[in-house]
Amino acid sequence: MTHHLRTINEVFDHHVNGLNEANMDEVAFDYAEDAFFITKDDGVIRGRQAIKTWFSGVMSGPLVGAKFDATTLIIERDILYLEWQATGNTHNASGVDTFLIRDGEIQAQTVKVLSLTPKS
């Protein structure tokens, strides 16, 4: 798959499929080599490999086995706004992300987890 030929929707769909399959190589494929990722708790994470490592930790921790669903998705030019919910083996989560997607790659992303609660 060539990055520059992918639309924003194709990048996003591939990203979610990678997360839902817990395939961090596929998730990492969507990021530019020099992409950055911002979270309140972890600050700025720079580079494709560091972002992959971050996702690997989250997806093997509280969100192991998680399936993600977009509850709100708005795209304007090269910005994607996302509200999401995830159901994992042990926890449920929700959050808000923004993506800057150019040339078929995620250039920047912000993540805000709104809730992370154990399943009862």
Residue-wise pLDDT for 81-106, tens only, equals 999 999 999 999 999 999 999 999 99
| Side chain identity, residue 113 | V
Query: What ranges do the domains of the chain cover?
Result: 3-118
CATH no. of 3-118:
3.10.450.50
Residues 14-36 pLDDT 10s: 999 999 999 999 999 999 999 99
- DSSP secondary structure letters along 34-57: EEEEEETTTEEEESHHHHHHHHHH
Does residue 100 contact residue 37 with C-beta atoms inside 8 Å?
A: no
Q: Give residue 75's pLDDT.
A: 97
Q: Give residue 82's pLDDT.
A: 98
3-state SS assignment for residue 54? helix
* CA distances for 4 relative to 29, 31, 52, 102, angstroms: 12, 12, 20, 8
Residues 34-71 pLDDT 10s: 999 999 999 999 999 999 999 999 999 999 999 999 99
From the list 50, 68, 48, 78, the residue with the least C-alpha distance to 113 is 68
Which tokens sit at 71? Answer: 């509850």
**Average pLDDT in the chain:** 95
From the list 82, 79, 81, the residue with the least C-alpha distance to 101 is 79
pLDDT reading at 1 higher than 60: no
The pTM score is: 0.93
